[in-house]
Amino acid sequence: MKALVNGSVWTGGNPGVRSEAIGISGERIVAVGTSADVVEGMGPGVEVMDLEKRFVSAGFQDAHVHPADGGMQRMQCDLSGCTSAKEALAAIAAYVAGHPEVEFVQGGGWLYPWFEGGNPEAHALDAVTGGVPTYLTVADGHSGWANQAALRLAGIQSSTPDPSDGRIVRNEDGSPQGTLHEGAMALVERIVPSPSPDELREGLLAGQSALFEVGVTSWQDAWVNAEIHELYRSLAISGELRASVRGALWWDRERGLEQLDDLIELSREGHERYDPRTIKLMLDGVCENHTAAMLDPYTDRAGRPTDNSGLDFIDPQDLPAIVTAIDAAGLQCHFHALGDRAVRNALDAIEAARYANGPTDLRHHIAHLQVVHPDDVSRFGSLGVTANLQPLWACADEAVTELTLPFLQEPQRIHQYPFAALARRTNIAMGSDWPVSSPDVMAQVAVAATRAVSEETLEEAFLPDQKLDYATSLKAFTSGSAYVNHLDHETGVIAPGFRADLVILDQDPFGLAWTGGIAVDMTLVGGEIVHHRDLATN
């Protein structure tokens, strides 16, 4: 038994009301109150941990994350620490020089704003890779950057047609320039070596460790294929999976309803720590490469409407039947939808499912929600749909100012990331989408509450009427995400009977102007320490 005493314990309600101590027996919280009362109630032999007045919250939950990808990227050519094309190219050159045994360089983490038009060129990669085939994905995973050696291996040339769900960026003579968007990425990815089972296992465990470092104790994996599914099951059975995971099984947009039976079978192969009863449906792309599905067309730089309104990865005519069938099977839907047309298509499909099947407690949710038409905001609440928000994106960074705002029509510009409007109407959950963005929860809370890029730019808030307060943001990362993960019966708040999944911070976030510098001192899962900052840095 343990007693965590002398702390500032936020149980998940009013931020002004705090407890001092938590009593833990086994994996469960058995007492919350004053230090004296908890220690006395636990009886003799209790192990006492002095929190030294530090802030304690229920463990954070990431409602949309890719831990295996994040862990694997750390093991490959990782550009996530770079801030420019120059730094990225230097990092690639250093990786190639330091890994002469690698026959095909893989990795990612570059950003669109580093390159003109958001499209890096093959010849820049050629200059630093020495002819080694190289393929690097953008941070958001919706575009790839290949050198000439990789393009040749993939057979991509001037005569190669664009796939229906993607685009090959081309030079003036029609030859491939080096960037591939959306479905065109598959042209190279089919020849990229797959990680071995051991590498994938190492990657997922590295991802788990990285999430523990930022206080995340549960998550929803937003892209689970059959291989990742089996890996989660294996790690859960062996006890190496310490977190609680909701797995979103991938809906193959190249197939139809015939795949549902297979997914239903996979969904039944869960474990106490791993629940795969969610289906991931990707409806569109992203605004930066003009593939997010919009109600109004994108414009050119002069503000003139183009003939491009983005891509529908699943035919909107088919989507209601698909969602109705998934709903009838008792599975949760997790939608990727950035553009306002994609958001509306998702809501229409959920509405059709509700009409056909009646109300359920499946807790369907829509992630990303970059542009939401005002007419659709209220539908989230009436349909019982959770808004799954990625807060680090809701600021005026270069991805917004250089690659998005200039190409959206006026109404859509002010309908971006309507966090406050959604929070007034429905449950909100939050997720990082790591490795697309940092998994640092307190950095995400900082942006959600300020709509600013950094502490130095607090006066330059992006659509400031959509700010959230710290309590709302922290609840989204605890009880809000626990709800969408179907874990709210035992996690998300600090209360007797709930699991002792806890995070201890070095500062109290309430009252600070910016929470981005707060560090996680300790993370506990089921009462056991899985991350200790002092031990990790010594």
Helix (H, G, I), strand (E, B) or coil at 98: helix
Can you give the pLDDT at residue 164?
Answer: 86
DSSP string for 137-164:
EETTSSEEEE-HHHHHHHT--TTPPPPT
At residue 142, the pLDDT reads 86
Over residues 434-462, the mean pLDDT reads 97
| Terminal Cα distance for the chain, rounded | 27
Mean pLDDT for 453-466 is 97
Q: Are 357 and 328 in contact (CB under 8 A)?
A: yes
* Secondary structure letter of residue 511 according to DSSP: T
Q: What is the pLDDT of residues 262-273, one digit of tens each?
A: 999 999 999 999
* Range 231-238 contact pairs with CB under 8 angstroms and sequence separation of 24 or more: 231/68, 231/197, 231/200, 231/201, 231/204, 232/204, 232/271, 232/274, 232/276, 233/269, 233/271, 233/274, 234/201, 235/201, 235/204, 235/205, 235/274, 236/271, 236/272, 236/273, 236/274, 237/271
Neighbours of 48 (CB within 10 A): 15
Rounded to the nearest 5 percent, the helix, strand and coil shares of the chain are 35, 25, 40
Average predicted confidence (pLDDT) for the chain: 96
Rounded percentage of the chain residues whose pLDDT exceeds 70: 99
pLDDT bracket for residue 247 (50, 70, 90): very high
Q: Look at residue 165 in the predicted model and tell me its pLDDT.
A: 87
- The span from the CA of 500 to the CA of 528, in Å, is 8
What pLDDT is stored for residue 538 in this prediction? 43
pLDDT tens digits, 180-205: 999 999 999 999 999 999 999 999 99
Give the per-residue pLDDT at 472. Answer: 98
Question: Which strand ranges, in their side-by-side order, compose the sheet holding 134-138?
Answer: 77-78, 105-110, 134-138, 143-146, 176-182, 166-170
Q: What is the mean pLDDT of residues 490-508?
A: 98
pTM of the predicted structure, to 2 decimals: 0.93
Structure tokens at 422: 């959604």
> Which tens digit of pLDDT belongs to each residue from 13-48?
999 999 999 999 999 999 999 999 999 999 999 999
State residue 452's pLDDT score.
98
For the segment 153-176, the average pLDDT, to the nearest whole number, is 94
pLDDT at 214: 99
Q: How far is CA 187 from the centre of its chain?
A: 25
pLDDT at 536: 58
Average pLDDT over residues 103-122: 93
Q: How many residues does the chain have?
A: 538
The one-character DSSP state at 501 is -
pLDDT tens-place string over residues 351-409: 999 999 999 999 999 999 999 999 999 999 999 999 999 999 999 999 999 999 999 99
Residue linked to tokens 């998934």 = 326
Q: Give the list of residues 6+ apart from residue 530 with CB closer than 8 angstroms, or none.
A: 212, 217, 242, 523, 524
- Residue among 342, 341, 406, 354 at smallest CA distance from 385: 354
**C-alpha–C-alpha distance, residues 420 and 433, integer Å:** 20
- Find the range with the poorest average confidence among 75-79, 125-129, 140-144: 140-144
Angle at alpha carbon of residue 406, lines to 400 and 410, rounded to 5°: 100
- Domains in the chain (CATH in brackets) are 2-53+499-537 (2.30.40.10), 77-189 (3.10.310.70), 197-484 (3.20.20.140)
Average pLDDT over residues 528-537: 84
CA angle 30, 474, 427 (to 5 degrees): 95
Q: Is the dihedral of CA 480, 481, 486, 489 positive or negative?
A: negative
**Residues in contact with 94: Cβ distance below 8 Å, sequence separation at least 6, in sequence order:** none
How far apart are the C-alpha atoms of 349 and 492, rounded to whole Å?
Answer: 29
416 close to 371: Cβ distance less than 8 angstroms: yes
Half-sphere exposure of 257 (CA within 13 A, CB side): 12
- Return d(Cα 399, Cα 404) in angstroms, integer: 6
pLDDT at 117: 85
Which residues does residue 386 pair with via DSSP β-bridges, in sequence order? 365
* Angle (deg, nearest 10), helices 226-238 and 197-213: 70
